[in-house]
C-alpha cells in the first residue's frame, strides 16, 4: 500500500516553500527575542542577497560552492551512500587546482590552465574519496565514519603542505603565492555586461557548476551507470540480483562524488582567492549535505537550494553588518533552522498536505 504520490509541483515546490516559511517564522521569533524587528531583518536579508548587483554576485558565488558540494552529496545519495567527506575532498581538490595554477599561471593564459585545473580538482577530490570507497566496498567499513575521518586527515595534510612545502618563504601565512593571470578564472563581471556584479567574486566556475549539474542529471537518469547507481541505492539486493557489482558501483559513485566536491575548489581557489590557503572550504562541504537533502538529490532542486543557501550566506552577512545585534552566530542559527525544517523535519507538514491534496484525486490504482 503506498501513501500516494503528490503532484510534482506540491512535492517539489509547495512543501519546500512551507518548510522555508516555517523556518523563517521561527527565526523571526529568535530575532524578536534579541530585540530586533524581524520584518526589518528579513528585508535586510533579502535585500542584501538580491537587492543589488554585488549582493546577487555574492549569492551566486556562494551558490557555486553549494552546487558542487550538493551534487557530490546527491550522487552518493543515489547509491545509498552518505558521503559526508565533501569538506575534505574539496580541500584536497584545492591542492589539485593550486598545483595546476602554480605550474602554469606564468606561461599560459587561463583558458589553457582551466582544463588542467578542472582535472586536478576532480582527480584529487576523487582520490580522496577513493580510499573510503574502497574500504566500504571491499572491507565493509562504514562510509560515514571513513569519510568524516578523511576530513580530519585532509586538514592535517593540507596544513602540513601549506606550512612546510607550499608556503611562500618568509611569509607568516600558511598559503601559496598568489596566482598570476594565467591561474585565475575570469570574473563574470569581466566577461559579460548584462549584470553588474560589482566586486563580487562570482566567476566562470558558476558556469562550470551549471554544466556539472546537467552532466549529473544525464549520468544519473540517462545512462546505464546512473541506472545501476540508482538501483543499488534504492534496493541493493535487487541490484545484486540484476547482476550489478556493489563494489564497482560504490567505488565509481564515490569517485564521481569526490570529483564534484573537489571541483568546488575551482570557485574558491582559481575563481576568487587566487591562492591556496588553509581552511578555504569553511564548511561548504557540510552545507552541501543540506543542499542535497533540500534539493531532493535532483540537480534542479540542488541549484535552487544552493541559491537559497547562497542568499542566506550573503544576506546573512549583510544582516550582521546592518544589525550588529544580530551576530554571526545568529545567522548560523537561522541557517540551522532552515536546514532543520527543510531537511530533518521535511515530513512535518507532509501528512497534512497529503490529506489536502488527495481526496480530489481518484485512487490511481487499486492498491494490493
Partner 1 sequence: MKKLLTISVSTLAGLAFSAAAMAADINPAVLYDLGGKFDKSFNEAAFTGAEKFKADTGIGYRDFEIQNDAQREQALRNFAKRGQSPIIAIGFSQANAVEKVAKEFPDIQFAIVDSVIDLPNVRSIVFKEHEGSYIVGVAAALASKTGKVGFVGGMDIGLIRKFACGYKQGVMSVKSDAEVFENMTGDTGAAWNDPVKGGELAKSQFDKGADVVYHAAGGTGIGVLQAAHDAGKLGIGVDSNQNGLFPGSVLTSMLKRVDVAVAKTFEDAKNDAWSSGVQVLGLAEGGVDWALDDNNASLVNADMKAAVEKAKADIISGTVVVHDYMADNTCP
Partner 2 sequence: MSETPAIELRGVNKSFGPVHANRNIDLLVGKGSIHGIIGENGAGKSTLMSILYGFYQADSGSIHVDGREVRIADSRQAIDLGIGMVHQHFMLVDPFTVLENVILGAEDGATLSGGTRKARQELRRLEQEYGLKVDPDAVVGDLPVGLQQRVEILKALYRGAEILILDEPTGVLTPAEADHLFKILEVLRDQGKTVLLITHKLREIMAITDTVSVMRRGEMVATLKTAETSMEELAEQMVGRSVLLHVEKTPADPMGTILEVEDLNVTDARGVRVVKDISFKVKAGEIVGIAGVSGNGQSELLEALAGIRKADSGRLSIRSETLDLATMDIDPALMREKGMGHVPEDRHRMGLINSFAEYENAVLGYHRSEKYAKGLLLDIAAIKQEAREAIEKYDIRPPSTDLRTANFSGGNQQKIVLAREIERDPDVLLVGQPTRGVDIGAIEFIHKRLIELRDEGKAILLVSVELDEIRSLADRILVMFDGAIVGEREAGADETELGLLMAGVQDQGAASGAVAGEKA
39 binds partner 2 (CB under 8 A): no
Q: Which of 69, 210, 60 is nearest to 151 (CA)?
A: 69
Instruction: Enumerate residues 6+ apart whose C-beta is below 8 A from 230.
Output: 78, 79, 220
331 binds partner 1 (CB under 8 A): yes
Nine-digit cell at 265? Answer: 575548489
320 binds partner 1 (CB under 8 A): yes
Residue 172 binds which entry of partner 1, partner 2, none, with Cβ cut-offs from 5 to 8 Å by kind?
partner 1
Name which of residues 53 to 72 contact partner 1 (CB under 8 A).
Answer: 58, 61-62
Of positions 4, 283, 336, 351, contacts partner 1 by CB under 8 A: 283
> Which span (2-10, 217-225, 275-283, 340-348) binds partner 1, by CB under 8 A?
275-283
> Which span (121-129, 170-178, 218-226, 276-284) binds partner 2, by CB under 8 A?
218-226
**Residue 362 C-beta: closest distance to partner 2, Å:** 8
Of positions 268, 286, 326, 337, contacts partner 1 by CB under 8 A: 268
98 binds partner 1 (CB under 8 A): no
Place of cell 546505464: 224
Number of residues interacting with partner 1: please give it, by CB under 8 A: 42
Cβ proximity to partner 2: between 241 and 321 the closer is 241
CA distances from 219 to 151, 222, 252 (A): 27, 6, 12
Q: Using a CB cutoff of 8 Å and minimum separation of 24, what contacts does 137-142 make?
A: 137/246, 137/247, 137/248, 137/250, 137/251, 138/247
317 binds partner 1 (CB under 8 A): yes
Angle at 179 between CA 176 and CA 181, to 5 degrees: 180
Binding marks (x or -) toward partner 2, 289..328, rule CB under 8 A? ----------------------------------------
**Residue 157 C-beta: closest distance to partner 1, Å:** 8
* 3-state secondary structure (DSSP) of residue 175: strand
Phi, psi of 187, deg, nearest 5: -70, 150
Q: What's the burial of 33, exposed, middle or buried (CB within 10 Å: 0-12/13-18/19+)?
A: exposed
Amino acid at each position: 500500500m503506498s501513501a500516494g504520490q503528490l503532484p510534482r509541483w506540491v512535492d517539489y515546490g509547495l512543501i519546500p516553500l512551507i518548510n522555508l516559511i516555517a523556518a523563517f517564522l521561527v527565526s523571526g521569533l529568535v530575532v524578536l527575542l534579541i530585540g530586533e524587528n524581524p520584518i526589518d531583518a528579513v528585508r535586510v536579508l533579502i535585500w542584501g542577497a538580491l537587492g543589488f548587483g554585488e549582493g546577487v554576485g555574492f549569492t551566486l558565488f556562494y551558490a557555486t560552492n553549494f552546487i558542487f558540494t550538493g551534487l557530490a552529496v546527491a550522487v552518493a545519495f543515489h547509491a545509498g551512500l552518505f558521503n559526508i567527506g565533501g569538506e575534505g575532498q574539496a580541500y584536497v581538490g584545492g591542492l589539485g587546482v593550486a598545483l595546476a595554477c602554480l605550474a602554469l599561471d606564468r606561461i599560459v593564459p587561463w583558458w589553457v590552465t582551466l582544463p588542467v585545473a578542472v582535472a586536478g580538482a576532480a582527480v584529487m577530490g576523487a582520490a580522496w574519496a577513493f580510499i573510503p570507497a574502497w574500504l566500504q566496498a571491499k572491507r565493509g567499513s562504514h562510509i560515514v565514519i571513513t569519510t568524516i575521518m578523511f576530513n580530519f586527515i585532509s586538514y592535517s595534510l593540507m596544513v602540513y603542505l601549506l606550512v612546510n612545502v607550499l608556503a611562500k618563504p618568509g611569509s607568516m601565512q600558511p598559503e601559496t603565492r598568489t596566482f598570476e593571470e594565467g591561474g585565475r578564472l575570469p570574473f563574470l563581471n569581466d566577461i559579460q555586461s548584462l549584470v553588474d556584479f560589482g566586486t563580487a567574486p562570482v566567476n566562470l566556475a558558476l558556469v562550470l557548476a551549471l554544466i556539472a549539474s546537467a552532466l549529473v542529471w544525464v549520468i544519473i537518469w540517462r545512462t546505464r551507470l546512473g541506472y545501476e547507481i540508482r538501483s543499488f541505492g534504492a534496493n541493493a539486493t535487487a541490484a545484486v540480483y540484476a547482476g550489478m557489482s556493489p563494489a564497482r558501483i560504490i567505488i565509481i559513485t564515490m569517485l564521481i562524488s569526490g570529483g564534484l566536491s573537489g571541483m568546488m575548489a575551482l570557485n574558491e581557489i582559481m575563481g576568487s582567492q587566487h591562492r591556496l590557503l588553509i581552511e578555504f572550504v569553511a564548511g561548504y562541504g557540510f552545507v552541501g549535505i543540506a543542499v542535497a537533502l533540500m534539493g531532493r538529490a535532483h540537480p534542479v532542486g540542488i541549484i535552487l537550494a544552493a541559491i537559497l543557501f547562497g542568499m542566506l550566506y550573503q544576506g546573512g552577512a549583510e544582516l550582521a553588518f546592518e544589525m550588529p545585534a544580530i551576530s554571526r552566530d545568529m545567522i548560523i542559527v537561522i541557517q540551522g533552522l532552515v536546514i532543520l525544517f527543510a531537511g530533518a523535519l521535511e515530513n512535518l507538514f507532509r501528512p497534512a498536505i497529503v490529506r489536502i491534496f488527495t481526496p480530489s484525486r481518484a485512487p490511481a490504482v487499486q492498491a494490493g
